[in-house]
Amino acid sequence: MKKKAGPAAPNASKGRSAGVGKVAPRQTRGVNRQAVGSRASLTPPDPKSVIRRLRAQLARALARIEQLQDSADTDFLLDIPNRRGFERELDRCVAYIKRYHASGALIVLDVDRLKPINDAFGHAAGDQVLKSVVAALTQQVRSSDIIGRLGGDEFGLLLWNLTENDARAKAASLEQAVDGLTFTFGGSTVTAGASAGVALLGLHADAEKALEEADRAMYVRKAQRRHETK
């Protein structure tokens, strides 16, 4: 009587090729490669290159800030300091005078008859008058002096190293320069004019008080000129 064959023994070679034991090393090698890549990506950059990049970014930011500051301090129509910019320059001027025992003068000049010109011929005509006034004032001062627009028809001038007599004579010459301007709008010839007030800047000068003093002197002068024309 033949013996029945028992269950076949598992094939050892097949078990090894299909079993987990063969796959695990491949997974381990893959994990190891990822770990190495992660460690490489976490390597800190060169400090010198980081510093160079940050310095370049800072330089661009500072240049942009300066550009915005300049635009905030400039009158776009006339390309001179506006009131904010002029007051900043006045503060610097007063500080310089106190530190180095220098001297100077502040002149506030108001353009006469600008409103009637605006009303009769439009604001474009008024803008042309203002541009011509600035050109006339610029010809009367030195490159180191500063002209700013304080308001619609009011200007400020910072003049260095002037005595009181010199400052008042300069104010008179500025008035004459503006008085000599003539304009033709719509077939009509018109003139403007100017009234100027002076405040001296010395060792005890205060920027705000000097501006108020020159402004008051300008209104006194404006009243005098009205009386002179009658």
Active-site residue set:
153
| C-beta of residue 110 within 8 angstroms of C-beta of residue 174 | no
| Angle made by CA atoms 230, 184, 178, in degrees to the nearest 5 | 55
Rounded to whole angstroms, the Cα distance separating 47 from 65 reads: 27
Rounded to whole angstroms, the Cα distance separating 160 from 105 reads: 7
| C-beta of residue 4 within 8 angstroms of C-beta of residue 10 | no
Which is nearest to 183 in space by CA: 227, 124, 104? Answer: 124
Two tokens, residue 195: 């009234």
